[in-house]
Structure formats: structure tokens, C-alpha cells
Chain A
Amino acid sequence: MANSMIPAGDFRTSYAVDTTIFPTVTSRNVAIASVVLICFAPYLFSEYWLSLLIQIGIYGIAALGLNVLVGFTGQISIGHAAFFLFGAFSSAYLSTKIGVPAFFAIPLSGVVTALVGLVFGLPAARLKGLYLAIATLAAQYILLDFFARAEWFSGGSVPAMAEPFSLFGYVFQGDRQYFYVVLAYVVVCFLLVTNMMRSRDGRALVAVRDHYLSAEIMGINLTKYRTLSFGVAAFFAGVGGALYAHYQLVVSYEGFGIERSILFLAMIIIGGTGSIMGTLMGTAFVVLLPEVMEWISSLLAGGAIDQALGLKTNITFLREIAIGVIIIVFLVFEPDGLAHRWHQIKAYWKLYPFSH
């Protein structure tokens, strides 16, 4: 919010005005209008595009949690996929084995995931980000091993089932109806985090990131805020995972290895660490990248490049390489991600034709 373009003469005379969620009336109207517009998406898009939108929403919530940890607190987690999966399994467990309605199971599994996250985060919270990175790496392996082992919880080698989402007896079926559930969660989660970031706690997190020694001297409890931010990250991972469980209706631990955790990191780096809207942009980028690559490879099919690279058979490896290269390129050339680029584009049009 700090780097948005405010016209000259538009003063803020109180702290309350300075910390509103939307800096200008227009930006608030645009945000509301875009949420309203996207409500019509189920009527406009095909099932396939809708499923991509749902994925962006689900992964976006999890990536948002990671962004609180990485972007706002300056810690790093390489076990986010394991926490995401933990949320998915616990929601499936709560809804089928215990009979908690999915409506309550989703936030509840977020809380459970946050508690599990704290177990791994606590030892490292006393230390610097590097140690948290290593602790979460261990968490990734330990949790995945746990899922493979604990048949009562995750079904072991058999995928766990989850109940469909229902509200007051009305069952949300199919992508078109589930879309609204995800949309509601996305709006609530993003508002929650935006709100948190303008509170004392949010500012404390940013202070810990920017200069933890100064932060500590100013009376910010480092251990508390590092742990808190890790808990928040795990919470949103859990919520995202739970939404995923009720979307897919079956949860299997396959495909949630360390590569998936790296994908979550890619989302926030590409979108912009420390940018809330950037998280959604980055998630959209990562979710749509395979589609774009598919499209490019179908364009190139039969050509010389296709023959040289063997696109059809190697597309998965090329995708992984692309993800890795894109992360590096963003880190080197655009460390603030797409959100920063977006601000620059906005600034360009606003100042056009006098860019200085």
C-alpha cells in the first residue's frame, strides 16, 4: 500500500486514514467490482477454466500464508506442501470419521495444522531463518512419512475420502458451485491478512524482517512473533489444504513432495514477497504456466525445435526447469516480483506522457 500512487494534495491527517485497507476510494471500488464480476465466472467460463480458477484460489490461500512467513517476517519454509497436505488430511478425517460438517472442518483443520506447524517451528523460532528452513525441510520428510504410515488418519496407501462441502443441508456439487466456496474463502483470507498486516502484530512482523535486532530493542518479542508468523503460515496452508480436500473429495499423499513446496515458494517469489495481491498474481502465474507451456508446445509441434527437444515426452522436465529458471530470473532481476512490475505499469500510465 505504501508504494501506491497518491495524487498531490491528498493528505492523510490521522493514523486511521493512513492504515485503511484500501488507500483510495477508487481502489476499494475496483476491488469490490472485481469480486462481483468474478462471481459471474461460473456462467462465463468452461469447466476446465473454472477448475484452474479454483486451483488458483486454493493454492493462493496457502501461498498467502507462506508470504506472511517469507515476505513479511523474513523466515523461510520448505515444508509448506506437507502442511498443506496435513490440512487436507485433517479436514478429510474430521468430516468423514468424526462427522464434523465441512463448513466447520475447514477452519478447524487450519487450527490443527497451525498447532502441528508450531511443533516444528518452535525450536527454530529461537534462531535465524536458516535454521527454520532446515527444520521445515525435516518437517516435510517427517510429515510425509507420517501420512504414509498412519492409516487411521490418512488411510496410508489408500487415499482418504472427504465429504463434499455443504451449508444448511445444501450440498455444493461440481466446480460451478464449489467455485463460490473457494471465492468466499479467498476474500475472507485475503481480508484477514491485509487486516493483520495493518495491526500492531503485522507491523511487528515487518519489523522483525527488516532489522530484528532493532525490533527486539524496541520491545518486540522475537520468539513470539517468529512463532506467530509460522503458525499463521501453517494455518493458511491448512485452510488451503482443507479446501483442496473438499474439492477433490479424495486426498492422496502422492505429488506433495518437496517439489510442491518449492512450487509454493515460486508462487510468492514470482508474485512478490511481501505483497498480498502479488501472491494471487504469482499463484495464477504458476498455475497457468503448464497451460501456457502446453500451448507453446502444441504450436511448435512438428517443427525443428520440437524435434530437437522432444517436447511431447519431456514437457514435465521442461516445466520443472522453467519453474527453476523463472525463480532465479525473478530473484536476480525482479526481486519484488510481479506486484512491483504492476505498480510500475500503473505509474507509467498515470504519469504518461511526463514520466519524471
Chain B
Amino acid sequence: MNAHLLIQLLVNGLVVGTLYGVVAMSFVLIYKATQVVNFAQGELLLVGAWVCWALMVKYQVPFYFAMPITMIFMFVFGILIQMVFLRPMIGEPIISVIMVTIALSTVLQAAMKWIFGVNPQPFPPIFTSQSVDFFGLQIQTVYVMSLVVSLAMMAAMAWFFQASKHGLAMRATAFDQQVAQSLGISVKNVFAMSWAISATVSAVAGVVVAVVNGVSSGLSIYGIKVFPATILGGLDSIGGAVLGGIIIGLLENFAQFIDGEYLHWGNLYEVAPFYVLIIILMIKPYGLFGTKDIERV
């Protein structure tokens, strides 16, 4: 039993888990507001990270400007995706909508490879000090930053939904589209807005991951990890998504610890979340906080 390694891995898990939580949160945002299961969530991270990287490396923009520009870009990008690809699909069967987002993910994935090449690129360093000392644990500064940014985004999201007018409109739309529309809420705008916010938040998460690990097409795996997280938390619960993300992050690293110390199967880190996903679907398909569908005829 290697306690030090375990703690280190659990800290990693917490950091990665909050990032999963943020991505899952933006996934659930789209699902709740527009009933679209977005298989291209990971690609939104990817696009955001590449745009920020291009700004900083190719155009030498300092980080403090590159980040807001990326966010504005992704805001517009999200609206555009919604308008061009998803709006024609309103009212179509759910599998058609799913397939549009799957196709979208292929297009974005390939386009990014085409524009920026297949090789992973390191992100320019943002912090001067490499790591901070925290109760005897060496934690990398980027990890602290990642945690802080994730928590800040969660708080901002919570504020947005609880206190702002747009957030209220969004909650109303998620509750009942027709009622919301008859009360004067523009459902169209809410749809576009939810994509915009989701894209922006994902892009921030993407940049955070990129700062830690560099930019590569592997970033889109975060979009896949969203599924275990959201199924665990319940597909339509934002709080559940955050919690699910953290649990999945911790579980991955715990699986790696068990694997490295005892089992030596290798690669358990990658697949453990998917086993969890299947098990949850078997025993509690609506997750921890999801609303159970009750169908009335």
C-alpha cells in the first residue's frame, strides 16, 4: 500500500473530476434546454483549445487577451452551430438529432486535424512557478489553477441559473417549452444561448486541459467521458453532472492505483468509467439525481 501515491492520484482525480464535472455541466445544459444529446461536446473543448493556442503561439497574443477572445469566439461558434445544424432538426426524431451531433463531431475533429496538424502541441507556460507545496504534497500550479477555474465556472453557472433573467428563461424552457413560449420567452434564443454558453464553458475547460497536457485531438475524449458522468449523476441534473464528473475522475485514478499496485492489467484507467456506465444503466438508469420518466398516455 503506497499511501503517498494514493493521495497523489486522488488529488489528480479530484482535479480531473472537476473538469469532467464542468464539461458534463455544459453537456447537461444543452440536453436540458434543447433535448439534444450532444456527442460533439469534446470537440467544443478541442476547438476552444486550438483557437486559444493559435492566438497565443501564432499571433503572440498574451494569455489575458487570448482567453477572452477565445471565449467570445466560442460563444459565436456555439450560436452558429445551433443555427446552422441543429435548428433544422427541431421536431425530428431523437436519433436523427443524435446522428447530426455525431457527424458534427467527425467534421470538427477532422477539420482541427486538417488546420492544425495531427501532432500534439505544448501550450506556452502561463505560470512561473511549477508547483506549490500543500501540506507536504507537491501539487502543480496548473492543477490548482484548473481546480480554481472549474469551481469558478460552476459558481458562475449556479449564479446564472438562480439569479439572472436569462437563466430563469432557460429553466422555464427546460421545464416546458410551450408554456415558456406562451409567457413570452423566445425559445429560439434560449436554444442558441444554451449552445453558446455550453460552447464557451467547454472551451474554457479545453484551454485548462490544454495548459496542463498540451493540445491534441485526444482532448475530445473529455466529451466521451461526459457520458459516464452524466449517466451517473442523472442526465438532466446539473448538480448531478458535477458530482458525477468528480466521482468518475476519482474513480479513474483509483482504478489506476488498484491496477498499478495489485492487478497489473494495464489500461484500466481508460475503461473503468465505461464499466461503471454499464453497471449504472443496469441498476439505476436514471442516475443519482435524474428525473424518472413517467409516461402518461
Q: Known: A213-B297, A327-B99. Contact between A134 and B224, CB under 8 A?
A: no
Chain A residue nearest to B285 in the complex (CB):
A127
Bound-state Cα–Cα, A129 to B266, Å: 32
Please determine whether A321 and B114 come into contact, CB atoms closer than 8 angstroms. Answer: yes
Chain A residues, Cβ within 8 Å of B147: none
B203 at the interface (CB under 8 A from A): no
Please determine whether B111 and A135 come into contact, CB atoms closer than 8 angstroms. Answer: no
Partner of B92, one of A78, A148, A335: A335
A112 at the interface (CB under 8 A from B): no
Bound-state Cα–Cα, A115 to B186, Å: 48
Stretch from B65-73, B100-108, B246-254 forming part of the interface with A: B100-108
CB distance from A58 to the nearest CB of B (A): 22
Chain A residues, Cβ within 8 Å of B110: 317-321, 324
Chain A residues, Cβ within 8 Å of B277: 134-135, 138
Please determine whether A265 and B99 come into contact, CB atoms closer than 8 angstroms. Answer: yes
Bound-state Cα–Cα, A269 to B92, Å: 14
Partner of A145, one of B88, B111, B271: B271
B contact face: mostly helix, strand, loop, or mixed: helix
B85 at the interface (CB under 8 A from A): yes
Interface size on B, residues (CB 8 A): 44
B142 at the interface (CB under 8 A from A): no
CB distance from A257 to the nearest CB of B (A): 11
Please determine whether B103 and A331 come into contact, CB atoms closer than 8 angstroms. Answer: yes
B180 at the interface (CB under 8 A from A): no
Chain A residues, Cβ within 8 Å of B293: 128
Interface size on A, residues (CB 8 A): 47
Chain B residue nearest to A137 in the complex (CB):
B227
Please determine whether A324 and B95 come into contact, CB atoms closer than 8 angstroms. Answer: no
Please determine whether B106 and A320 come into contact, CB atoms closer than 8 angstroms. Answer: yes
Chain B residues, Cβ within 8 Å of A21: none
Partner of B111, one of A259, A319, A321: A321
B55 at the interface (CB under 8 A from A): no
B96 at the interface (CB under 8 A from A): yes
> A325-356: which residues lie under 8 A (CB-CB) from chain B?
325, 327-328, 331-332, 335
B93 at the interface (CB under 8 A from A): yes
Bound-state Cα–Cα, A122 to B285, Å: 12
> B177-227: which residues lie under 8 A (CB-CB) from chain A?
224, 227
Bound-state Cα–Cα, A145 to B271, Å: 7
Chain A residues, Cβ within 8 Å of B89: 331-332
CB distance from B233 to the nearest CB of A (A): 13
Please determine whether A262 and B37 come into contact, CB atoms closer than 8 angstroms. Answer: no
Partner of A262, one of B88, B106, B285: B106
Q: Known: A138-B277, A321-B107, A321-B111. Contact between A130 and B99, CB under 8 A?
A: no
CB distance from B293 to the nearest CB of A (A): 8
Q: Known: A318-B114, A324-B107. Contact between A137 and B95, CB under 8 A?
A: no
A251 at the interface (CB under 8 A from B): no
Please determine whether A259 and B227 come into contact, CB atoms closer than 8 angstroms. Answer: no
A217 at the interface (CB under 8 A from B): yes
Chain B residues, Cβ within 8 Å of A131: 231, 281, 285
Give the top 4 A-B pairs by smallest Cβ distance, nearest first.
A320-B110, A324-B107, A327-B103, A324-B106
